[in-house]
Chain A
Amino acid sequence: MGKKGEVKLIGSWVSPFVFRARVALNLKSIDFEFLQEKAGSKSDLLLKSNPVHKKIPVLIHHDKPICESLVIVQYIDETWTHGPSILPSDPYDRAIARFWAAYLDEKFFPALKSIRMVQGQGDEVEKKLKEIKEGLGLLDDALVKISKGKPFFGGEELGYLDIALSGFVAWIQVREKTFDVKLLHESTTPNLAVWVHNLSAHPAVKDIIPTADALIEWVRLNLGPPPPPAN
């Protein structure tokens, strides 16, 4: 739908935030050009399109840039009104979906990201793992309440919160391997474990979701080893 040149997405296959935009575009069957940024350098187009943050993802539609992953997902939902609705229709359900998506960005992701910086420091790692597990526990409970027995937070189909969380799945699996711990697993988050299975099989997701191994290799090549513990 739409000429390919009309829609561009500046991003990277490793970014959980870019992943959200890709899933949303796929869900709406939108043809787009994916402009993969090179690790460690920012293209002129990125700097020009997002001068404030200089970050990916940036969606460019009719030459106008839209920045911030959740803003992009909402823009996609509101601009392409065919296909499944990403936000639920009821205002209260929308507020709940937005609340948890904001929680992911404000609380959950910082804990998930920063555990890498304390790798090798037993106590600090335990603290971070506890935070991550608590967050996943809250999300597991939320899934039960919100999905009401359906496969996704959005119900029968992927919705806003599914998309918001989708980008973190592979990175959670990276942490599971690196720290030898179960995070998204039937023994720890039984409902989310099923959700991961449903998500990974979904047509909008299955061809683009990275493997934990591929991400671990990318980290090794581009970020090097984690920093030594501060003394």
Chain B
Amino acid sequence: MAKGDVKLLGAWPSPYVLRVKIALNLKSVDYEFQEENLGSKSELLIKSNPVYKKIPVLLHGGKPICESLIIVQYIDEAWSGIGPSILPSDPYDRAVARFWAAYVDDKILPAVKGIVVANGEEAKVKELKEVLVLLEEAFILKSSAGEGKPFFGGDEIGYLDIALGSLLGLLRVTEKSFNVKLLEEATTPRLVSWADSFCTHPAVKDQLPDTHKLFEFVQKVVYPRINDHI
């Protein structure tokens, strides 16, 4: 596949862009990455995603696909038969993976925002930890079905691994910023080892933003923005 055929519009700190990068890597797809400056969006971005004007946008043969999880499913379907399947094959397992990915998108970012706005208040931290405990339980259920495999997807990372794993950077930054523990042995032991397996996976490890750089970015740019919108 010629590199010019596939282009990803994104930004290095974005967990949603990370999802797409991981999916492209899993399928060994060559692509061109265009780093967007979110202070001044490129014409290509605005033209390709007129509804939201947001990254990530995948351009395949010039045609834009928007919304990170929709892009991940697109990659799975357009390059089916190459590399691992991202969605499981069984319809019920697919429904479970989709359900929890939607849950991740629904709950985690708002819970992080809640912590930021309340400046790390315990009640807000507890809310996010409860979200993570539900995901821990979902992982245990999956693992017991798949005999203790390392990922939600089984032996290989899959849709839900990508959806949740991409947010680990933000969770770590939040832990450091407010001196709290979100993923820990006491409450989410399986997710702790899952996080390690995820971050060291070949399709993932070179894509993760530098932790220090991300910490600074989130402190300087993301948290103030969250507070400004209240």
Tell me if A103 counts as interface (CB < 8 A to partner B).
yes
Which of A63-71, A121-129, A209-217 is the contact stretch? Answer: A63-71
**CB–CB B77/A79 < 8 A:** no
CA A214 to CA B94, docked complex, whole Å: 36
Q: Mark A172-190, 1 if CB is under 8 A from B, else 0.
A: 0000000000000000000
- The one of B65, B92, B94 in contact with A95, judged by C-beta atoms closer than 8 angstroms, is B65
**CB–CB B71/A71 < 8 A:** no
**CB–CB A75/B65 < 8 A:** no
Decide if the interface of chain B is mainly helix, strand, loop or mixed. Answer: helix
A102 nearest CB neighbor, chain B only: B67
Considering only residues 67-102 of chain A, those with a C-beta below 8 Å from chain B are: 67-68, 71-72, 74-75, 78-79, 91-92, 94-95, 98-99, 102
- The one of A64, A74, A95 in contact with B98, judged by C-beta atoms closer than 8 angstroms, is A74
Which residues on the B side are within 8 Å of A79 (C-beta)?
Answer: 91-92
Which residues on the B side are within 8 Å of A66 (C-beta)?
Answer: 92, 95, 99
A142 nearest CB neighbor, chain B only: B51
**CB–CB B70/A102 < 8 A:** yes
**CB–CB A91/B94 < 8 A:** no
Tell me if A223 counts as interface (CB < 8 A to partner B).
no
Considering only residues 96-129 of chain B, those with a C-beta below 8 Å from chain A are: 98-99, 102-103
CA A143 to CA B134, docked complex, whole Å: 39
Contact residues on B (Cβ < 8 Å of other chain), bracket: 20 to 34
**CB–CB B70/A95 < 8 A:** yes
**CB–CB A99/B70 < 8 A:** yes
Which residues on the B side are within 8 Å of A74 (C-beta)?
Answer: 94-95, 98
CA A102 to CA B102, docked complex, whole Å: 11
Size of the chain A interface, CB-CB below 8 angstroms: 21
Q: Which of B94, B95, B98 has the most CB of A within 10 A?
A: B95
Decide if the interface of chain A is mainly helix, strand, loop or mixed. Answer: helix
Q: A92-B63, A95-B65 are in contact. Are A78 and B91 (CB under 8 A)?
A: yes
CA A21 to CA B155, docked complex, whole Å: 33
**CB–CB B77/A68 < 8 A:** no
Tell me if B78 counts as interface (CB < 8 A to partner A).
yes
CA A14 to CA B103, docked complex, whole Å: 24
**CB–CB A98/B95 < 8 A:** no
- The one of A71, A78, A91 in contact with B74, judged by C-beta atoms closer than 8 angstroms, is A91
Considering only residues 64-89 of chain B, those with a C-beta below 8 Å from chain A are: 65-67, 70-71, 73-74, 77-78
**CB–CB B63/A98 < 8 A:** no
CA A94 to CA B134, docked complex, whole Å: 30
B63 nearest CB neighbor, chain A only: A92
**CB–CB A75/B91 < 8 A:** yes
Question: In angstroms, how far is the closest chain A Cβ from the Cβ of B24?
Answer: 14
Which residues on the A side are within 8 Å of B60 (C-beta)?
Answer: 92
CA A61 to CA B91, docked complex, whole Å: 11
Q: A52-B134, A99-B70, A102-B70 are in contact. Are A71 and B98 (CB under 8 A)?
A: yes
Which residues on the A side are within 8 Å of B74 (C-beta)?
Answer: 91-92, 94-95
Q: Mark A133-150, 1 if CB is under 8 A from B, else 0.
A: 000001000000000000
**CB–CB A95/B71 < 8 A:** yes
CA A66 to CA B77, docked complex, whole Å: 22
Q: A71-B102, A79-B92, A94-B77 are in contact. List 20 more A-B contacts (CB 8 A).
A: A52-B103, A66-B92, A66-B99, A67-B99, A68-B98, A68-B102, A71-B98, A71-B99, A74-B94, A75-B92, A75-B95, A79-B91, A91-B77, A94-B74, A95-B73, A98-B67, A98-B70, A99-B66, A99-B70, A103-B51
Task: Give the interface of A toward B (CB within 8 A).
Answer: 52, 61, 64, 66-68, 71-72, 74-75, 78-79, 91-92, 94-95, 98-99, 102-103, 138
10 A–B pairs (Cβ distance < 8 Å), ordered by A: A52-B103, A67-B99, A71-B98, A75-B95, A78-B91, A92-B65, A94-B74, A95-B65, A95-B71, A99-B65
Task: Give the interface of B toward A (CB within 8 A).
Answer: 51, 60, 63, 65-67, 70-71, 73-74, 77-78, 91-92, 94-95, 98-99, 102-103, 134
Closest 9 CB pairs of A and B: A91-B77, A78-B91, A75-B95, A95-B74, A91-B78, A79-B91, A71-B98, A95-B65, A66-B95
